[in-house]
Chain A
């Protein structure tokens, strides 16, 4: 089981089943990306593997983020799949972290190959647990239609399930119509909803991981 409650304090997140995929949804600038990086970093501190699929940050900044959060990050503990399509500016290895370049956020086969290599690297170093973050589905949705993204999420979730990993995927709820969000949600086992709270700050709720949706709670 994966305990995410030290990152986000909900009972529903204390025992997340291996193989679960969770959608993190909220408007822009509500800390979705920070949340998923925290979830990965928290696991990495306990020895879990981490895979980041990024459409916006370059691999070097992802690695830097992780080194800040997890000072004793081991080599071969982090894999980055960089889908910005800006080519070979980054070396294959950044300080021992394996990096895979993909030509564009719409190149699903390339993303799959990158993830496979990252998983292989983690597996070879003996890690049986791990967490994957994909930031963000909203960018992928600008490159390809919702049907393809839905199927991609389903297939990737199924692969993570076989690996016993968990996945956290971000989506900007303000950037798509309700129907798109409803469809994408269905590819996931659970949902973390984030919104700005009245009077400042943010609040979140968790759906699908416990019997009942939780109430909104300040975070």
Chain B
């Protein structure tokens, strides 16, 4: 996600009216793509997609099948499942990052997309944080404490690490809720940042 381009949301939904409504709500803030079924959705999916809104019940490929294909391709996008009924199973164990049950309101849709984008932001900050920590550890392992005390590079690094740590605590409010917690861990296991 670069600074200038709006994030990309892919809607995979077989009912055209419903898909159009989501698009109307989102198009001011995001670049919106629409696929009418699972196959079309997968065709429109590439590295630039940030969030997928995936209808679970569709003719042809089901939402679950599309999800497993997305995970297999190891794309960094976040996937929200859209269902007709509130699921009575553990959505997180199925590998979705969030779910929305129909009918969806505009505000709810915006909140979900925003939260999913924040999680991606959190992931990339964590990645950056790790890079700094590793650099610091290398210096600590190779220099004496006297050398470290005199090193400007070390002082700057230490400062950057403290800042980054605070930034992480602010994004998502740290990791306050269970969904954010599990989804972030799944991101680590999937090796999305590689």
The docked-state distance in angstroms from the alpha carbon of A7 to that of B130 is: 33
* Interface residue ranges of B143-182 to A (CB < 8 Å): 161, 168-169, 173-178, 181-182
Question: What is the minimal beta-carbon distance from B70 to any residue of chain A, in angstroms?
Answer: 16
**Interface: A161 (CB within 8 A):** yes
**CB-based contact B126/A151 at 8 Å:** yes
Please tell me if the beta carbons of A108 and B185 are within 8 angstroms of each other in the complex: yes
- The smallest beta-carbon distance between A25 and chain B, in angstroms, is 14
Q: Nearest-CB distance from B72 to chain A (Å)?
A: 16
CA A154 to CA B165, docked complex, whole Å: 10
| Residue in A106, A158, A183 whose CB lies within 8 Å of B133 | A183
Query: Is B4 positioned at the interface, with any CB of A under 8 Å from its CB?
Result: no
Q: Are B93 and A162 in contact (CB under 8 A)?
A: no
B126 touches A155 (CB 8 A): yes
In the complex, whether A211 has a CB less than 8 A from a CB of chain B is no
Q: How far is the CA of A155 from the CA of B92 in the complex (A)?
A: 17
Question: Could you tell me if B174 and A161 are in contact, using CB atoms closer than 8 angstroms?
Answer: yes
- Bound-state CA distance A147–B93 (Å) is 24
Known pairs A113-B93, A186-B161; A158 contacts B168 (CB<8 A): yes
Q: Does A159 contact B (CB under 8 A)?
A: yes
Closest residue on chain B to residue A163 by CB atoms: B176
Distance in angstroms between the alpha carbons of A193 and B138 in the assembled complex: 20
Q: How far is the CB of B122 from chain A (nearest CB, A)?
A: 9
Contact A159 B175 (CB under 8 A): yes
Cβ of A61 under 8 Å from chain B: no
A-B contact count (CB 8 A): 75
Are B185's CB and A155's CB within 8 A? yes
By a CB distance below 8 angstroms, the chain B residues around A142 are none
CA distance A183 to B136 in the complex (A): 8
Min C-beta distance of A114 to chain B, whole Å: 10
Question: In the complex the two chains form, is A162's CB within 8 Å of B141's CB?
Answer: no
Determine the chain B residues whose CB is within 8 A of the CB of A106 once the complex forms: 189
- Taking CB atoms and an 8 Å cut-off, the chain A residues in 124-162 that contact chain B are 147-148, 150-152, 154-155, 158-159, 161-162
Q: Which residues in B have their C-beta under 8 angstroms from that of A154?
A: 126, 129, 168
In the assembled complex, the CB of B194 is this many whole angstroms from the nearest CB of chain A, namely: 10
List A contacts of B126 (CB < 8 A): 151, 154-155
With a cutoff of 8 Å between Cβ atoms, the chain B residues found around residue A151 in the complex are: 126, 130, 188
Contacts of B177 in A (CB 8 A): 162
Chain B residues whose C-beta falls within 8 Å of the C-beta of A158 in the assembled complex: 168-169, 174-175
CB pair B130 A113 closer than 8 Å: no
Contacts of B184 in A (CB 8 A): 155
Is the beta-carbon distance between B176 and A162 smaller than 8 angstroms? yes
CB contacts (< 8 Å) of A161 on chain B: these are: 174
In the bound complex, how far is the Cα of B138 from the Cα of A183, in angstroms?
9
Q: Tell me the bound Cα distance from A147 to B141 in angstroms.
A: 17
CB pair A152–B185 under 8 Å, yes or no, is yes
B137: Cβ under 8 A from any A Cβ: yes
Given contacts A109-B189, A182-B136, 13 further A-B contacts (CB under 8 A): A108-B186, A111-B185, A112-B185, A113-B92, A116-B182, A147-B134, A148-B188, A151-B188, A159-B174, A162-B173, A162-B175, A178-B141, A179-B137
User: What are 22 A-B pairs with beta-carbon distances under 8 A?
Assistant: A106-B189, A108-B185, A111-B185, A112-B181, A112-B182, A113-B92, A119-B178, A148-B188, A148-B191, A150-B130, A151-B126, A151-B130, A151-B188, A155-B126, A158-B174, A162-B174, A162-B177, A178-B141, A179-B138, A182-B137, A186-B136, A186-B137
